[in-house]
Amino acid sequence: MAAAADNAQTREVISVSRKDLPLACPPLGDKFWSQHPRVFLPVEKTGEATCPYCGARYQLRD
Looking at every residue in the chain, the average pLDDT score rounds to 84
| Total structural domains within the chain | 1
Determine the structural domain holding residue 40 and report its residue range.
Answer: 4-60
Give 2-26 pLDDT, tens digit per residue. 455 444 455 689 999 999 999 999 9
Please give the pLDDT value at position 29: 78
Would you state the pLDDT for residue 10?
Answer: 53
User: How wide is the angle at C-alpha 13 spanned by C-alphas 29 and 47, nearest 5°?
Assistant: 95
Average pLDDT on 53-62 reads 93
* Cα separation, 59 vs 43, whole angstroms: 7
**What is the percentage of the chain residues whose pLDDT exceeds 90?**
63
Region of residue 31 (left: phi > 0; alpha: psi -120 to 50; beta: else): alpha
The number of C-alpha atoms within 13 Å of 2 and in the hemisphere containing its C-beta is 16
